[in-house]
Structure 1
Amino acid sequence: MKRSKLVMLNFMALCCVLGLFTKKLINPMANVITEALHIPGGISTGFSIMFLVIALEAAGMRGGGSLMGCVQGLLALALGRVGSMGIFMPIGYLIPGITTDLVFGLMKKGRFPRQERMVFANALAALMASVTANVLVFRLKGAVLWLYLCVSAASGSVYGLLGSWIAGRLNTAFLWYSDKSGGNGS
């Protein structure tokens, strides 16, 4: 295996772990907002997904979002970080991963700029995570469901914008690494 591919796989694994643990860090702050709105969540999920979107943007690996979503879901299950979804937690991570793959696949063909691609991917993945949680667990209806979905999409957009900025900085670091190693990562 080429060293550059190994570096990207390690980076993707790091982003999976970062997404899991940072979600727990911002959950208390996000709960202040979601409890005031009387919705079950949606804000910290978009932050967790941001790391998957950053890794997918950096690696550019086809199917990478699904792979990272699956790994993240299995890690959450193994570590007991299952939340309200219980045993269905891997599904809750896999659906956003598949969504990011689809968005990146469609938007790269249209040559959309990184910022638009990442904002849309993060927002749609956060929205799909909320839809999945609602179908499997919450069963919200009416105005509360729409509020929940709007908060998820809006926070996903904001985190996508932040992720775009981070990806721009990482792109510079990865280019430097590739130049230092002679372009082949070895």
Structure 2
Amino acid sequence: MSTTRSFIARPTDPSTGSRYTGRYCHFDGYPENQLPLLLGALQYRFAGDLEALRRHLVDAPHDWSGLGMDLLEGAPQHVLNQIDPHAERFPSSPLDDVITSSGAPAEPMTITEANSSCLEWGYVLHDHGIEVIALTWHDRGGPIVSWDTSPLTRFQGTPSLWGYDRSAPVRPARPALKVATPVSPLPVPAKPRVPR
């Protein structure tokens, strides 16, 4: 895991002072990790119920240490194998080991535009797709990745490619994994008999 700080949020009315409100996520916040999990979560585990996905991630009573493969519950095996080829299957985990100076557990952080500038990536779960904000590049917004995008899509993680006036940067699709058929060994030739 790498410390790439991000947030997962729901859109809000800008008149509230922020276009979004969400939860902090400490590890692996780059698009190559988060987008397949978020897309797959809606398509498989939450069966298209976006509000249930938002409640699970954004309304959680804690921040997130990292999102994990439990979000892909119900996905076909080939999807799991492509996204997690080493079959590590790390689950999502709450960030619950942070304590305040008084020794009390820290309250979860509510992320808005006012306090997101110290993070690297943001993912706003709109009705029509995921807005990806590369906060190290600019904070005015980002392109939308449609909810019907395959979780096997290969996204690029260079922040400058995620400008609000651009399409989501993708790499060519992953080739399908092929299972090699074991090759039968050739028969060992008989040793010639040497007459005595």
> What's the TM-score, normalizing by structure 2?
0.28
Higher strand proportion (structure 1 or 2): 2
Higher helix proportion (structure 1 or 2): 1
Using structure 1 for the length normalisation, give the TM-score: 0.29
**Comparing both chains, which one has the higher relative contact order based on Cα–Cα distances under 8 Å and sequence gaps of 6 or more?**
1
User: Computing the radius of gyration over CA atoms, which structure comes out larger, 1 or 2?
Assistant: 2
